[in-house]
Amino acid sequence: MIDNDKTAYPLSALPETPYIFTGSAPMATIGYKYTAKSIFGKRDIEPFSRAPVINASYNEIYGISMNTYPIPEFPQMYPHLSSINRKNSGLHKDDQIPTLFLSGSKSDVRNIHANIYSKIKINLDLTYIGLSEVHTLNAVEVKISGRGTRFSPKSSYKLDFGKKGSLFGYRRLKLRSLSTDPAYIREKICYDMINSFGLASTGYSFVRVFINNKPYGLFGLQEDFDESWLANEFNNGDQENYNQGTLYTGNTQAILRYLGENETLYESVDNPFKTPTYKIEEAPRKSGEKSAANFQRLIDFTKFLANAPSTEPNAVALWNQQIDTDSVLRSFALELFLGNSDGYIQAATNYNLFTNANQNDQLIFIPSDMDMTLGSSSLFYANTTFYTRFEDHPDFNSSRPLFYNILKVPEFKLIFNGMLASAFKNLDLIYSRINSLSGLIQEDVYYDALIARDYVLLPPFSVGQQLIKVAIKDGQFGNGESFLDYYSRIGKDKIWFEVATNGTINRPSIMGLKQWISISANSYLKANN
């Protein structure tokens, strides 16, 4: 509809991209609206008017009123690590939400959602539609991903474009379900802070997803850790001329304790999730050719930690020979500031160590997976995830050799406390970021909440209870109350978006986003006048 004229101007699907409908109409002077017909012939009209355009409109989404939303720039609090040589790929767009359409066999799609604990992989075609760009990829490998989110009716996914395929220069991407966070923006805020602290890690933005024309909702979009990410992060996207080191992943109970020289001890799967303690995510490469990989560099580092220097005159130099200490100190400062209950310090998981082959195999600490942050937790009580002094943290002891030993070095302790203080001095910027991101996603959140997620076959509640019992026995989940509450709220016991962001929540596994930040900041500032 143009201006106040009720004349309808039909739009037709593009043959090459049937998700896009095009047509022509007179230029509006007041505004225009899209209309749609249901299968019953009823006409639906957008409840808002769009601003006039001179030539052609963007690839607009029916029912979404704004193409872009003003997002204030987040400041760079620390320079990027010297090893970072990041390619600006254009994948992540802070002020807009692109759309992914996946299509393929309906039976395959049903199969992966009926077997969410399996490792089934299916092939689907993908069409990426941004405001002014379209990318199509065929036979994209899709699988269910994540651990805790497998309890949720909204799954997370991994996309693999194959050795010769990529989207914006990345071969593998993740679609994060956001089901653990009723505020939807915790991970985004965390990755903004990670980038602001100059650390190596993935980017993060939002995308809406359809599978076989059925809406699956709003997702977080981020790169997966693979050789394309390493080249894009450390060598400006050039894989062919990159001397790539080994990328290790700390999976479960990966505390970095020295276990001896036997490599198999570092691949143990003796945990509730049956995942290896450490994993070689990517083998070393030189000029694009893969080399043999082993755990020796990781073992050498754990051996160093077992007798790490602290007050010796050359302690700082010895530490930096082993690992980029800025990458560690900044990451750990953010773990405490963000209340990360599922990182190295609190849970000995969700991090990577990368051997920088261009710096004598110096390790770089890389944080990952930021959903259990800012007052949202599954392992621990949400109201115990903020700390005024690192010395008061229950895991500041030999059970976390890297955290404990690096802060025994006086120079590092001073730097660390300064980093923590600088984070708490920028709360106004974080609140502003929360408000603007909430504005960006609010319409998509509304539609996300309306989706009937009857396509996922969840395991019986008894399966979750059994996992909890095993985890409690291993001492991972405390008394289990927080996890039971977490399990409940990611299922049917939903929390409204507005309350989750701006309200007060007093549940074992979650607090309101701003509520948690306010209490955490007040506690810190009171103890550190």
Residue 330 located in a structural domain: yes
Residue 510 located in a structural domain: no
Residue 469 has pLDDT above 80, yes or no: no
Q: At what angle do helices 427-450 and 513-527 cross, to 10 degrees?
A: 160
Residue 358 located in a structural domain: yes
Domain termination site, one of 409, 424, 439: 424
Nearest to 333 by CA among 394, 393, 376, 267: 393
Q: Please report the pLDDT score of residue 67 as a whole number.
A: 96
What DSSP state is assigned to residue 372?
S
Q: Render pLDDT for 131-141 as a digit per residue (tens, 0 to 9).
A: 999 999 999 99
Region 403-429 average pLDDT: 96
Question: Would you state the structure tokens that stand for residue 90, as one six-digit string?
Answer: 């254009």
**Dmax over Cα atoms in the chain, in whole Å?**
81
- Reduce the DSSP state of residue 361 to 3 states and report it: coil
Query: How many structural domains compose the chain?
Result: 2
Determine the structural domain holding residue 324 and report its residue range.
Answer: 239-424
Q: Please report the pLDDT score of residue 271 as a whole number.
A: 61
Q: Give the DSSP H/E element, type plus range, for residue 427.
A: helix 427-450
Q: Render pLDDT for 186-207 as a digit per residue (tens, 0 to 9).
A: 999 999 999 999 999 999 999 9
Q: What string of DSSP letters covers 382-432? A: GGGS--S-GGGSTT-STTSHHHHHHTTSHHHHHHHHHHHHHHHTTHHHHHH
Q: In terms of pLDDT, which residue wins out, 477 or 173?
A: 173
Domain termination site, one of 373, 393, 424: 424
Q: Render pLDDT for 199-249 as a digit per residue (tens, 0 to 9).
A: 999 999 999 999 999 999 999 999 999 999 999 999 999 999 999 999 999
Residue 246 located in a structural domain: yes
pLDDT band at 174 (very low <50, low <70, confident <90, very high): very high
Q: Please report the pLDDT score of residue 468 as a whole number.
A: 57
Residue 273 has pLDDT above 90, yes or no: no
Residue 34 located in a structural domain: yes
Residue 451 has pLDDT above 80, yes or no: yes
Residue 341 located in a structural domain: yes
pLDDT band at 471 (very low <50, low <70, confident <90, very high): low
Nearest to 385 by CA among 147, 221, 201, 186: 186
pLDDT band at 473 (very low <50, low <70, confident <90, very high): low
Domain termination site, one of 400, 424, 448: 424
- The set of residues, in sequence order, having a beta carbon less than 8 Å from that of 429 and lying 6+ positions away, is 72, 74, 75
Q: Render pLDDT for 61-117 as a digit per residue (tens, 0 to 9).
A: 999 999 999 999 889 999 999 999 999 999 999 999 999 999 999 999 999 999 888
Q: Please report the pLDDT score of residue 493 as a whole number.
A: 78
Residue 213 located in a structural domain: no
Q: Please report the pLDDT score of residue 237 as a whole number.
A: 94
Q: Render pLDDT for 277-317 as a digit per residue (tens, 0 to 9).
A: 999 999 999 867 778 889 999 999 999 999 999 999 999 99
pLDDT band at 1 (very low <50, low <70, confident <90, very high): confident
Residue 396 located in a structural domain: yes
Q: What string of DSSP letters covers 69-109? A: ---PPPP--SPPPTT------S---TT---EEEEE--HHHH
Q: Render pLDDT for 329-371 as a digit per residue (tens, 0 to 9).
A: 999 999 999 999 999 999 999 999 999 999 999 999 999 999 9
The structure tokens 């160590």 sit at: 353
Q: Please report the pLDDT score of residue 280 as a whole number.
A: 96
pTM (2 d.p.): 0.94
